[in-house]
Amino acid sequence: MIATKDNEILLVEDDSNDAELIMRAFRKGKLATRVVHLRDGAEVMDYVANARGGRGMARLPKVIVLDLKLPKLNGLEVLQRLKSDALTKDVPVVMLTSSQEECDIAKAYALGANSYITKPIEFDAFSKTVTDMGSYWLRLNRTKRKNEGDM
């Protein structure tokens, strides 16, 4: 598990139990220095907008873990906005879904989601998947940034 100083994961999940368990998984996997937990879709856009000020890209999260069902602005809408905003479109987004209902997953991919995790009932597998997912995207992002930095 690679953790760097400025690894930030943005978790958007309104169910407090799920959020607690997911953050526990991140902690145990020592994935990131910072986990930001937001509870609704509208808050995401605000947070990201503020992150743009002054310091530029540095404050964007490295991975966004986004639940499909959210109050105020639902997950797919947030995904769409993130992927159509020049600043945020390159931030990998992992969707959290509670069911395998295909239409949701297909829609998410169509809007540009990078991956998805189904929230199963039993947690150990979930925990492992979450940490694997998270570290994969973190590493990927870091490599890309490094390559871009070389240019």
Partner 1 sequence: MALQSPRILILEDSSSDYELARRELVQGGLGQEIEWAKDRGSFLEALERTEPDIALLDHSLPGFDGISAMRLLRERLPDVPAIIVSGAIGEERAIETMRAGATDYVLKDNIERLVSVTQRALHEADQLRARKEVERELQESRKRYELLFSSSNEGISMHELLHDDDGVPVDYRTINLNPAYERMIDLPREDVVGTTASALFGRPLHLDRYRYVMETGESVSFEDTEIRPGKVLLISAFPFEPMRFATLAVDITYRKELETQLEERARELARSNSELQQFAYVASHDLQEPLRMVIGYLALLQKRCNDQLDDQAREYVRFAEEGAARARNLVRDLLEYSRVGSRHKPLAEANMEHLCDLACTNLREQIMEENAVIDRGPLPVLLVDEVQMVALLQNLMSNAIKFHGSSPPRVNISCREGRNEWAFCVRDNGIGIEPQHQERIFQIFQRLHGVGEYPGSGIGLAICKKIVERHGGRIWVEPCIGGGSAFFFTLPKRNRS
Partner 2 sequence: MKATSPYSPAAHEMALLQERLDLLRREHQGTLRALDNILLERRELRRVNAAAMNILEDLEEEKCRSLDAQSALLNMLEDIEEERREVERTRAVLEAVNRELEAFSYTVSHDLRAPLRAISGFSRAIVEDCSEALDGDGRRYLELIQDNVHRMGILIDGLLAFSRIGRQRMNTSDIDMDAMFHEVFHEVMAQEPERDIKFVHAPVPPLNGDALMFRQVLVNLLSNAVKFTRGREGAVIEVGYAADVEGGAYYVRDNGTGFDMQYADKLFGVFERLHLAEEFEGNGVGLALVERIIARHGGRVWATSILGEGSTFFFTTSGVKMA
In the complex, the residues that contact partner 2 under the rule CB under 8 A are 15, 17-18, 21, 24, 69, 98-99, 101, 119-124, 126
What does DSSP assign to residue 136? Answer: H
State the binding partner of 119 from partner 2, partner 1, none, CB within 5 to 8 A by kind.
partner 2
What does DSSP assign to residue 59? Answer: G
Which residue in 71, 84, 132, 144 binds partner 1 (CB under 8 A)?
Answer: 71
Q: How far is CA 5 from CA 60, 63, 65, 129, in A?
A: 13, 14, 19, 23
What's the min distance (Å) between Cβ of 23 and partner 2? 11
Q: Which is nearer to partner 1, 91 or 130 (CB)?
A: 130
Interface with partner 1, residue 120, by CB under 8 A: no
User: Which tokens belong to 43?
Assistant: 């808050």
Q: What are 11's strand-pairing partners?
A: 37, 65
Q: Which residue has the tokens 């145990």?
A: 28
- Contacts with partner 1 by CB under 8 A lie at 14-15, 17, 20, 71
